[in-house]
Structure 1
Amino acid sequence: MPVPRHIMPYGVLFKFFVISTLISTNHACNKADRESLSSSFDAPSLNWSSSSDCCHWEGITCDEDGRVTHLLLPSKRLHGGVSRSLGNLTHLSHLNLSHNLLSGSLEARMFLSLSYLEILDLSYNLFFGEVPLSLSSSYIRTVDFSSNQFNGTIPFSFLQHAWNLNSLNVSNNHFTGQIPSSICLRSSSLRVLDFSHNRFSGSIPLGLGNCSELEVFRAGENTLSGSLPSDIYNAQALQEISLHSNRLFGPISENIGKLSSLKLMLLHFNNLEGPLPPPLMNCTNLVEINLGFNRFSGNISVLDFSELTQLSKLDFVANLFTGILPISLYSCKSLKALRLAENNLEGQIQPEIVSLKSLSFLSLSENRLTNATGAMKILMGCKSLRVLLLSENFLGEEMPDVDIMDESSGFQNLSILSFYRCQLTGQVPLWLLKLKKLEVLDLSFNRLTGPIPGWLGTLPSLFLLILNHNLISGEFPKELCRLQALVSQNAATQTGYDYLELPIYYQRVNASVTPLQYKYLSNMPRAISLRNNSLSGNIPFEIGQLQLLRELDLSVNNLSGEIPNQISNLTSLERFDLSRNHLSGEIPASISSLHFLSSFTVAYNNLQGIIPSGTQIEGLNATAFEGNQGLCGAPLPNKCQQMNISNDTKDVHASNGKGVPWFHFSVIFGFIFGFWGVCGSLVFIRSWRHAYFLFLSNVKDKFLAMAN
């Protein structure tokens, strides 16, 4: 009788069991490796004790002999130090402990026996101290120590055996000294070198030209000096040069044109100088050029950008370029961000700019451009435009009027608009009412007149309004207290979360610190700043509705009346300036409940009474309250006890005509008893009683008349 197919014969089953057992035995974890793993670091979250065979443990891979070859435990919430017993895993080829909370220093001997190591990734931990003198493995391909707290120098012997190295990343640490030279002599296969965000000094080492396969070279945010090494232009496979935020000087060589594979050229925040070499335009694969904050010069209009068809970002901010806006730039159809601010460019914006269909970010501030109205008529055609910065141009011209905004589609995606320090005349333009996505508006340092229009309060996304240093008059409009992005948390979550193609540098008024850099709109302050205008009237109590407001500056105006108690509803407020107005009354005691308040001043007003106590207020300097003769208490030197008598007198004489005048009553009552004491001994009791009752009757009538 044949055996049914679904029933396995006992002989076959036995053979399968034997083979499975043999296979399992062959892959059983080496006992020494298991002990080394158990004592290497604290890993309670891995539950390794659930099996005696470490080859089955999470993150572990073994070879056919049961030796551990892969230890891959990224993002496992590991903490504590790493024991040198890890070095007993002599067959280890891949070690990845990245994105944990491991700390301590690395034992130098730990890596001496790891002669088969290919991948070493300890990035994003808390390791400190110096790195080992040498990695003994000649198989090593990737070394990543980035985002830790390592310090000291990187020894020249560190990679002396690394013949196959293709990636070295030590960024975001505290390394000092010079960048190791001759790295490329050790390995001809290097593709990535990242030394950025450390404290390396000295010059960029020679020898990079020997890295024939080098694609990425990063050493930004250090203190490197000197010029660009001449042989760097021989590394013709380079796709990224990132050396920003150093102290490099000198020109860019004509040889830059040899780097035909170059995509990213980031040299901003240095002292590089001279004209840009025309061969730079031969690097037709360029996607981003950032040469901002240097000393480059020359006539920019002679450069031909027309072949850079892949160029997405061009940033030449804060240099010494002259000439007009290059027409050839408008051939860069992929251009999304263009910043030529803080140069010496002149002329007008040309109509050809509308051919840049993807242009989202445009900054031409601090040049000598003219014809503001013409510029706005043209730029309306850039349908993708989100950021438009035209500050310090069009000096003394008139604010473009409503006629240019007849087309409803103009600026419909605009989020940021700045005409800062243009000395424009006129009023806040009505066409702003159509910009429903506007989030940041800066019209400060102009000569605008008239009132603040109430319709600004209807812009659904506006959260940063700056009208400082104008000639604006009238009252603080109550409608401004309805800005949805400052009132409603739901509305606020819909604004400010767009990534900016280029960072924006924002300087607070009267701030001496370095301008703040913002890469996201969400990081910009939610603020209203109306400093140095001619505003009058009271601060409306409706201002308490702006509960998401973080900065409020109403200083140097003509505001009067009392500070509304509703200010205490602004629980997110961090900076508050009411100085140099005509405010009176007391400082609301509830202001001490503003726990995030770090800057506050009411100096030079007509305020009086006791300065409220509270953690935030007590830490302020006396200058925050000076110029108010009626204020007392800390931090002012005049104590409130010295003022109690006058304050009590005011309270005594204050009456609404309906309460009992207790001061007069006490005087009369005292007079009665005094009269009894003096007259009782001089007259007969009978006649005195008669006189006393007549007197008391008169006093009673007067007292009731006063009480009514």
Structure 2
Amino acid sequence: MGSLLTIVDPKEVCDSTESAVESSLASTGHFNKLYISVTSIFSMSSSSIRSTQISWLPLLLYSVSVLFAINKVLVVCGRCLEDQRSLFLQLNQSLTFSQWPCSDDPKLVSWNTNTDCCSWKGVTCDRDSGHVIGLDLSGECISGGVENISSTLFNLRYLLQSLNLADNYFNSTPIPSGLDKFVNLTILNLSNAGFGGQVPIEISRLRRLFSLDLSNMPMYERNQLILENPDLRTLVQDLSGLRISVLMECIYQRIREVNGPLDSSLSELSLLSQIDLSQNDLSTEVPIFFENFINLTSLRLSDCGLYGKFPNRVLQLRTLQSLDVSENPLLYGFLPEFPLNGSLIQSLVLYDTSFSGSLPDSIANLSLLSELRLSSCSFNGSIPSSIIELNQLELLDLSNNSFTGPIPPLPETLTLVILSHNMLTGPLLDSREKPRKA
């Protein structure tokens, strides 16, 4: 029988230390030491790879590169490239930080010359090549030093796929220019980072982008992003090419300088799954083309100056999970009949609008509904007894409407119920209680 070689699963090799691999191989007694090059290990079947003994001839046929040494085991499996580590250390040195409270688990403290940069927090590497493909600097209290990030990381221009600068404190610093150099970028998160000024047109040239987050929380209200050149229409038109390539899936925007009606070119982004334009002065009707957004899961348009009739078919989209059009007092509509087993809605927020009519019995078909907020609208009629079937419901607010009649038994899952300022009668009870005397 010919010489035998123990084969180790390449995934296990890459996850092990060299000493552990060396001990494993030495325990077989076949060889003292060897070098193994693990680079997409062969075109062998998984069953062949997992077998513990393979003769020399099949091994040669599979073109496995095996080098023998005397006192060392070396496993090569996608380690951080030295030039990339140098780039990140250079970037780290250029960053400045504020006194803003930071995460309890900061990322940048793990960046040092003594460790593999693929093991650093916030750095994601391709397992096979070792190339850095993701950079997450969110929540690091960074206040400056990213202005030239595209030139500092120029060598990653064809590699980087994800960039996250969210939750920092850039104090109205403009969004870094040159981001379009990262031609394979698919995820760009600049939310709540304190950026200000014009949104650079380069963002619209990221042809592989499928997730863009430019949202701003109220605490950053003075750090306003502006869409003037390009304006929203230009940005959307440039992004429409991404939609055609089925590369644009979601865009989050809470940009306080988006004013005026939503341009019809937005309809070309029908693959959007999440839209947030809250707290913008849109002063427009809700576009009917939202009914054609077949992937829409979340639509947030609160406090936008919306008016006119809300398109009912949006509420019947089978993918919709969350709708918030609250604080638009001139917006009116009614709740449609909800199909049986046809809705994924978990949150329905319509307070401070002019929605009216009754709650349909078919509201019980919203089996995943956990939040129903309809206060300060113009609803009337009785609360349907079928509401007890909403066994995921936790928050129910029907206050300041014109509901009448007895209060039906409510789901025991509720943690907050507000029914004040209606014309309801009888006790408040849940499914476990019997009626109490008034």
* Common fold: TM-score over 0.5: yes
Q: 2:154 aligns with which of 256, 263, 282?
A: 282
Count of residue pairs the alignment pairs up: 351
Q: 2:341 aligns with which of 478, 488, 491?
A: 488
- Corresponding residue for residue 684 of structure 1: none
Q: Deviations over 1:318-371 (max 9, x none)?
A: 223334333444554443333343354323363xxxxxxxxxxxxxxxxxxxx5
Where is the helix percentage greater, Structure 1 or Structure 2?
Answer: 1
Superposed, 1:201-240 pairs within 5 Å as 223-224=104-105, 228=109, 231-232=112-113, 238-239=117-118
Question: Structure 1 residues 417, 192: CA separation in 2 closer, same or farther (over 3 Å shift)?
Answer: same
SS of match in other structure, 2:323: strand
Distance 1:115 1:551 in 2: 53
- Mapping of 1:50-199 within 5 angstroms? 117-118=23-24
8 A contact 1:166–1:191 mirrored in 2: no
User: Unpaired runs of 5+ in structure 1?
Assistant: 1-18, 20-62, 73-92, 97-113, 120-138, 142-162, 168-188, 194-207, 210-220, 245-259, 351-370, 493-524, 619-631, 634-639, 644-708
Q: Distance in 1 between matches of 2:334 and 2:311?
A: 9
- Choose the corresponding residue for 2:165, options 284, 291, 294: 291
SS of the aligned residue for 1:223 comes to coil
After TM superposition, list the pairs within 5 Å mapping 1:459-608 onto structure 2: 459-472=317-330, 476-477=334-335, 480-482=336-338, 484=339, 487-489=340-342, 526-589=346-409, 591=410, 594-608=411-425
> Structure 1 counterpart of 2:341, which letter?
S
- Does the CA-based 8 Å contact 1:473-1:536 persist in structure 2? no
The residue type paired with residue 578 of structure 1 is: L
Verify the 8 A CA contact 1:241 1:265 in the aligned structure 2. Answer: no
Q: How does 1:403-422 map to 2 (within 5 A)?
A: 404=265, 410-422=268-280
Change (3 A) 1:415 1:563: same
Please say if residues 473 and 535 of structure 1, whose CA atoms lie closer than 8 Å, have aligned partners that are also in contact: yes
- Give me the whole-angstrom Cα distance separating, in 2, the residues matched to 1:294 and 1:570: 40
Give the 4+ runs in structure 1 shifted more than 6 A.
69-72, 163-167, 189-193
2:227 paired residue among 347, 351, 354: 347
1:325 corresponds, among 196, 199, 203, to 199
**1:562 to 1:410, Cα distance in 2 relative to 1, 3 A:** same
SS of the residue corresponding to residue 559 of structure 1 reads strand
- Cα distance change, pair 446–298 in 1 and its aligned pair in 2 (3 A): closer
2:210, 2:249 within 8 Å by CA — same for their partners in 1?
no
What displacement does 1:564 show?
A: 1.6
Amino acid at match of 2:117: L
Contact 2:204–2:235 (CA under 8 A) maintained in structure 1: no
Determine the C-alpha separation between the residues in 2 that align with 1:462 and 1:262: 35
- Secondary structure in 2 aligned to 1:269? coil
The secondary structure found in structure 2 opposite 1:534 is coil
Distance 2:21 2:290 in 1: 68
Does 1:426 find its partner at 2:284?
Answer: yes
Instruction: After TM superposition, give the deviation of residue 588 of structure 1 in Å.
Output: 0.9
Change over 3 Å in CA distance of 1:613–1:328 after alignment to 2: closer
- Aligned partner of 2:253 in structure 1 is 390
Q: CA deviation at 1:422?
A: 1.0
Q: TM-score, normalised by structure 2?
A: 0.63
Distance change in 2, residues 1:273/1:586 (3 Å): same
Deviation at 1:271, TM superposition (A): 1.5
Q: 1:70 to 1:575 in 2, by over 3 A?
A: farther
Which structure has the larger Rg?
A: 1
* Other structure's SS at 2:275 match: strand
Deviation at 1:463, TM superposition (A): 3.5
The 1:166–1:290 alpha-carbon spacing in structure 2 relative to 1, beyond 3 Å, is farther
Provide the residue aligned with 2:134 in structure 1. Answer: 264
**Contact kept in structure 1, 2:172 and 2:224, CA below 8 Å:** no
Instruction: Output the CA distance in 2 between the equivalents of 1:587 and 1:165.
Output: 75
Tell me how far apart the structure 2 counterparts of residues 529 and 292 of structure 1 sit (CA, whole Å): 27
Structure 1 residue 226, shift from structure 2 partner: 9.9
Q: Is the 8 A contact 1:457 1:481 kept in 2?
A: no
1:610 aligns with 2:423: no
Match of 1:442 among 280, 283, 300: 300
SS in 1 for 2:290: helix
CA shift at 1:224, angstroms? 4.8
Matched residue type, 2:134: L
- The alpha carbon displacement at 1:306 in A equals 4.7
Kindly state the Cα deviation for residue 372 of structure 1 after the two structures are TM-superposed: 4.8
Counting aligned pairs with the same residue, the percent is 21
The answer for the alignment partner of 1:514 in structure 2 is none
RMSD: 4.7
